[in-house]
Structure 1
Amino acid sequence: MTDTNEVPLRFGRIAATLPVKDIERAKAFYWDLLGYKPVFENGDPVGFVILERDSAELHLTLQKSHKAADFNIAHMMVEGIDQLHALVQQRGLKVVKRLQDKDYGLRAFVFEDPDGNRIDVGQRL
């Protein structure tokens, strides 16, 4: 039996934190390419940034010796995936996994940001 005074477990937002070597370059990249706007910055010089777009949030942390992982470190759900894929290609970014419809109900692809962070992008079919 549960205690009626017990607060039920509930989760709020969770945001990916991407390590970057140059925070100003990364901030500009996510703003210019994806339209994320900075809403919080910390440090002098800045070492941490929170970016937002629509209901999505992304954190950048300055890690000057960052070495990119060989796996996806963030997953973005979007609408308009074909448009985003075209933008990624126009910018000459590395596409790690090509755009395709998956048997689990997503149209998806994976690209690398300028710091080599792999971002998995999906849209429901």
Structure 2
Amino acid sequence: MKMQRAIPMLPVRHMPTSVGFYAKLGFAVEKRNDEWRWAMLVLDECRLMVDESINQPPDAPRTSVIYLYPDDIFAYHRDLRRRGLDVPSISHPFYGMSEFRIEDPDGNRLWIGQRTGS
């Protein structure tokens, strides 16, 4: 048996707001069902789902972290700032990455990084 893939499903308060936020990150809508309040988003080989129906209770704090690996962290960082996102400066933590961290409108955490050395 071989695992084919994993796709995170994030609980959100308002699917259209989340779709708009992730569009600024470069994600496009692959599938969307407004009746279900659910969408599948895609950016190159990455996919994630946003879903209002699993947001129980709606005011619960988020604890998920998704780590995104662009092939050029510096170009992606500049692009996000051009798109109007308030992103922090790139840091270089002890574990050999160049990265920055943001949250989506629902508090789901996104860490975005690229390995800096071997």
TM-score range, shorter-chain basis?
0.7 to 0.9
CA-based RMSD = 2.4
Residue ranges of structure 1 left out of the alignment (5+ in a row): 1-8
1:75 aligns to 2:63 (yes or no): no
Q: Which structure shows the higher strand fraction?
A: 1
Task: Go from structure 1 to structure 2 and tell me whether the alpha carbon gap of 1:85 and 1:78 turns closer, same or farther (over 3 Å shift).
Answer: same
CA contact (8 A) 1:88 1:111 kept: no
Provide TM-score, normalisation by structure 1. Answer: 0.73
Q: 5 Å matches for 1:111-122?
A: 111-122=102-113
Q: How many residues align?
A: 111
Q: 5 Å matches for 1:1-125?
A: 9-31=1-23, 33-42=24-33, 44=35, 46-62=36-52, 63=55, 65-69=58-62, 71-86=63-78, 87=80, 90-92=84-86, 95=88, 99-125=90-116
1:99 partner SS? coil
Q: Could you tell me the percent identity over the aligned residues?
A: 25
Where in structure 1 do 4 or more consecutive aligned residues deviate above 6 Å? none
Provide TM-score, normalisation by structure 2. Answer: 0.77
Residue ranges of structure 2 left out of the alignment (5+ in a row): none
Larger Cα-atom Rg: 1
